[in-house]
């Protein structure tokens, strides 16, 4: 997937937003999975930039794993971050942004309801990456085998309500921003759009 200079600039801007969202609210650092505002900007990257929005998360992940302190939890960066239970969500961010962007670009008409449903689909993919990774780290790194209920208690229940709220806010913001910035309108051919 090639990016032109405008798309690269937008991806870079969103990378900065992801970093700011992770850095500003660095609390819950002792939890297996800390609270984060990053999912809000993951959804916006998809709804505003299309599937190219995933590149902003790729850059975010690369910067963090190379050692820059851009993540929400100690040690905040470096390859050792992969050993944390929450690291799987970073890969989920990339997949979620791509999915949300790909589907939203193909909607016949953008509405808050449709964008919210697409965003929920992205959240499903986010958790589908994060929860198994969390389980794997606890089992093979920490040496503690968790029951399914424990995995959900650590990685889903405390966050899903907030993430659904973020999905709703992002969906509403997308409609407003697209109306004010027509250059963000999707360019997909009509034949490639979903008729719902």
In this prediction, residue 196 has a pLDDT band, given cuts at 50, 70 and 90, of: very low
In this prediction, residue 28 has a pLDDT band, given cuts at 50, 70 and 90, of: very low
Tokens coding 163: 């993430």
> Backbone phi, then psi, for 61, in 5-degree steps?
-65, -45
Tokens coding 12: 């870079």
Sign of CA dihedral 142, 145, 148, 153: negative
Of the listed ranges 1-10, 34-43, 150-159, the least confidently predicted one is 1-10
Compute the mean pLDDT over every residue in the chain, rounded to the nearest whole number: 90
Domain boundaries, the chain: 5-181
- 35-52 burial, b at 16+ Cβ within 10 Å, e below that, comes to ebbbbbbbbbbbbbbbbb
Q: What CA–CA distances, in Å, run from 96 to 11, 39, 159?
A: 15, 9, 16
Q: Average of pLDDT values for 46-74? A: 96
Query: What number does CATH give the domain 5-181?
Result: 1.10.1760.20
Q: pLDDT tens digit string along 46-58?
A: 999 999 999 999 9
CA distance 171 to 115: 5
Tokens coding 106: 């193909």
CA distance 183 to 175: 13
pLDDT the model gives residue 166: 97
């Amino acid at each position: 997937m090639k990016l032109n200079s405008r798309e690269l600039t937008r991806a870079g801007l969103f990378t900065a937003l992801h970093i700011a969202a992770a850095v500003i609210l660095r609390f819950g650092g002792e939890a297996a999975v800390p609270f984060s505002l990053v999912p809000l900007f993951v959804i916006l990257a998809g709804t505003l930039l299309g599937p190219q929005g995933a590149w902003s998360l790729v850059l975010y992940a690369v910067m963090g794993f190379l050692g820059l302190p851009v993540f929400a939890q100690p040690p905040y960066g470096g390859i050792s971050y992969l050993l944390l239970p929450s690291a799987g969500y970073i890969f989920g961010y990339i997949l979620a942004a791509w999915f949300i962007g790909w589907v939203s670009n193909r909607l016949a008409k953008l509405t808050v309801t449709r964008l919210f449903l697409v965003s929920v689909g992205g959240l499903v993919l986010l958790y589908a990456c994060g929860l198994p990774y969390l389980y794997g780290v606890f089992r093979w790194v920490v040496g503690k085998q968790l029951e399914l209920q424990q995995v959900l208690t650590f990685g889903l229940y405390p966050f899903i309500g907030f993430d659904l709220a973020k999905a709703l806010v992002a969906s509403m913001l997308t409609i407003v921003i697209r109306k004010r910035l027509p250059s963000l309108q999707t360019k997909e051919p009509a034949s490639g759009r979903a008729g719902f």
